[in-house]
Amino acid sequence: MSTMVMTGGTSGFGALAAARLRESGDVRVILGARGRGGADALGLDLAELESVRAFASAVGEELAGSAVDALVLNAGLVLADAGHRTVDGFETTFAVNHLAHYLLARLLLPSLAEGATVVLTTSGTHDPATGAGLTPPRHADAALLAHPERDPGLDGRPRKAGEQAYTASKLCTVLTARALAGQDAVRDKGITVIAYCPGQVFGTGLAKDLPWYMRMAWSVMGSPVVSWPARRFDRTLNTRPDAGKALADLASGVARPPAGRGYAALRGGELTWPDPSDAALREDSAQELWTANAALVGLPG
Ligand SMILES: NC(=O)c1ccc[n+]([C@@H]2O[C@H](COP(=O)([O-])OP(=O)(O)OC[C@H]3O[C@@H](n4cnc5c(N)ncnc54)[C@H](OP(=O)(O)O)[C@@H]3O)[C@@H](O)[C@H]2O)c1
């Protein structure tokens, strides 16, 4: 039996992926969840770094010396602005979507098995070239993303600043996937690291913190009657079952990246392996972000 550790498995396509993995019969899925995560869930609030550390040590106890075959970092949120702060004092979207997952990956790295897989859920909105409706990221400077009030270029319009916090967190995710793949311990163990873009998956819980009219639009777009014809014209649109299946396939190794690829984008229900954005390909940015994240969470760079 293989063991997977997963965040974001209580809602949306992540819940479908977790169920699919469990149903495959030979996988134990340890969920990190805030509340109702089921029998195999351990408490985890990504908005609190101390909770991430406690979760990592609880996972260590559960493992009792065995190893993790897949680490799936799928949790995420979208907020209406960039004005929220975690208990650690960091902007919440950056902290939950990115920084907490960086810390978790580093804490669990020693527990990963030879040949393990790490999947980090990102978003095509990190890439201005996808033409997604959200404001694209301006940079991946962790110190400024953690404290946007110090960012001289911060968009003064709350909604735009919120969108940028989200798209920047997802740019950081791709950069961190690339930096993680370059770590000696990851190379030595032959670990595969994949940044996964599920495309646009309407009808999940992702809009729950947005204003009512956006929640309503999100829900309507996710209804079969609207989404089925829309998918015929836009390959970035995917169903929740397709996005969940692709995530499960990546985690379990059913889908493997072609040599030299690490960015999986679900398009028309099929996994594709394009380049991420130009900014996400910058080696210097990946290294700088790795070191800056380390400083924020109190680990060596
Ligand atoms: N839907 C899309 O179109 C789309 C597109 C690109 C990327 N994504 C990414 O895909 C991932 C899954 O999104 P989704 O659309 O399936 O949304 P969702 O239904 O809202 O799922 C989000 C998951 O993240 C968890 N989560 C949020 N904040 C957390 C926290 N502080 N601590 C622990 N867990 C937390 C949620 O747990 P609770 O159940 O406790 O809320 C839930 O399991 C996210 O990373 C999202 O950014 C989604």
User: What number does the ligand 1 atom closest to the CA of 34 have?
Assistant: 40
Q: Determine the Cα–Cα distance for residues 255 and 34; give it in Å rounded to an integer.
A: 29
Cβ–ligand 1 distance for 123 under 6 Å, the answer yes
Cβ–ligand 1 distance for 130 under 6 Å, the answer no
Q: Determine the Cα–Cα distance for residues 97 and 185; give it in Å rounded to an integer.
A: 24
Ligand 1 centroid distance, CA of 186 (Å): 26
- Write down the pLDDT at residue 67: 98
Our mutation pick for probing the ligand 1 site, out of 34, 173, 202, 209, counting the most ligand atoms within 8 A of Cβ, is: 34
Cβ–ligand 1 distance for 96 under 6 Å, the answer yes
Ligand 1 centroid distance, CA of 6 (Å): 12
Our mutation pick for probing the ligand 1 site, out of 5, 11, 245, counting the most ligand atoms within 8 A of Cβ, is: 11
Cβ–ligand 1 distance for 10 under 6 Å, the answer yes
Ligand 1 centroid distance, CA of 208 (Å): 10
Q: Determine the Cα–Cα distance for residues 219 and 212; give it in Å rounded to an integer.
A: 10
Instruction: List the chain pLDDT tens, one digit each, 301 residues.
Output: 899 999 999 999 999 999 999 998 889 999 999 977 677 899 999 999 999 999 999 999 999 999 999 999 999 999 999 999 999 999 999 999 999 999 999 999 999 999 999 999 999 999 999 878 899 999 999 999 999 999 999 999 999 999 999 999 999 999 999 999 999 999 999 999 999 999 999 999 999 999 999 999 999 999 989 888 888 889 999 999 999 999 999 999 999 999 999 999 999 999 999 999 999 999 999 999 999 999 999 999 8
CATH superfamily assigned to domain 2-297: NAD(P)-binding Rossmann-like Domain (3.40.50.720)
Q: Determine the Cα–Cα distance for residues 253 and 234; give it in Å rounded to an integer.
A: 27
Ligand 1 centroid distance, CA of 188 (Å): 31
Map tokens 């397709």 to a residue. Answer: 242
Residues forming beta bridges with residue 112, ordered by sequence position: 68
- Write down the pLDDT at residue 37: 65
Cβ–ligand 1 distance for 47 under 6 Å, the answer yes
Ligand 1 centroid distance, CA of 12 (Å): 7
Ligand 1 centroid distance, CA of 11 (Å): 7
Distances (CA, A) of 192 to 38, 189, 224: 28, 9, 35
User: What number does the ligand 1 atom closest to the CA of 51 have?
Assistant: 32
- Write down the pLDDT at residue 147: 98
Cβ–ligand 1 distance for 8 under 6 Å, the answer yes
pTM: 0.97
Cβ–ligand 1 distance for 44 under 6 Å, the answer yes
